[in-house]
Amino acid sequence: MKGLESMEPTVKKRVDKYRASLTKLFEEIRAWLKDTGFSSEQTDIQVTEPRTGSYTVPMLTILDQTGKTLAEVRPVGAWIIGAEGRLDIRGHLNNEVLAYWEKGAPEIQISESEEKIGYRPGSRLFRGADKEGWYWIEDKMRGKALPLDKELFLDLVSEVQPL
């Protein structure tokens, strides 16, 4: 497996941006948990992707008041089709997927003929995802994504593990 130091510069830059987005998100999550009675533990895990080989990223475990694990906020990778990163909120009952976009969700590219019949150029693949951040894709069929905030995060944790 390649180490980060042997990665080509563009690949290393993408992994570094992914790590920075995780670090920022995990700081926010720790702040969100302060008044809930829940806590978190951060550990390092290995992620292996075809383009990068293995590299280390942080992972958060969300704990209840007794120290029981409610969920893991587990990074999946920086090389995701249509996104600059993915992480999963995993619990005993379910798994919820979050996507990271540096400039919002990708824009749909259309031809002139499609524009003539009413398709709008520059439409985002997911409504509501128009700036940098972590998003939960609420409805794939309707193309709707919600930016991750405290309320949504706690809702997702409750979806993967009853609180």
* Per-residue pLDDT tens listing for the chain (163 residues): 445 556 788 899 999 999 999 999 999 999 999 999 999 999 999 999 998 999 999 999 999 999 999 999 999 999 998 899 999 999 998 999 999 999 888 877 766 665 555 556 567 778 888 899 999 988 766 778 999 999 999 999 999 987 5
Q: What is the CATH number of the domain that holds 108?
A: 3.30.920
Alpha carbons 71 and 157: distance in angstroms, whole number: 6
Question: In this predicted structure, what is the pLDDT of residue 29?
Answer: 98
Question: In this predicted structure, what is the pLDDT of residue 79?
Answer: 92
Question: In this predicted structure, what is the pLDDT of residue 1?
Answer: 42
Question: In this predicted structure, what is the pLDDT of residue 117?
Answer: 55
Question: In this predicted structure, what is the pLDDT of residue 25?
Answer: 98
Question: In this predicted structure, what is the pLDDT of residue 151?
Answer: 97
Domain holding 88, by residue range, is 4-160
Closest CA to 90 of 76, 74, 69: 74
Question: In this predicted structure, what is the pLDDT of residue 120?
Answer: 60
In degrees, to the nearest 5, what angle opens at C-alpha 151 toward C-alphas 145 and 154?
100
Q: What is the DSSP string of 46-89?
A: EEEETTTEEEEEEEEEEE-TTS-EEEEEEEEES-BTTBSEEEEE
Chain centroid to Cα 7, Å, comes to 23
Question: In this predicted structure, what is the pLDDT of residue 64?
Answer: 94
Domain count, the chain: 1
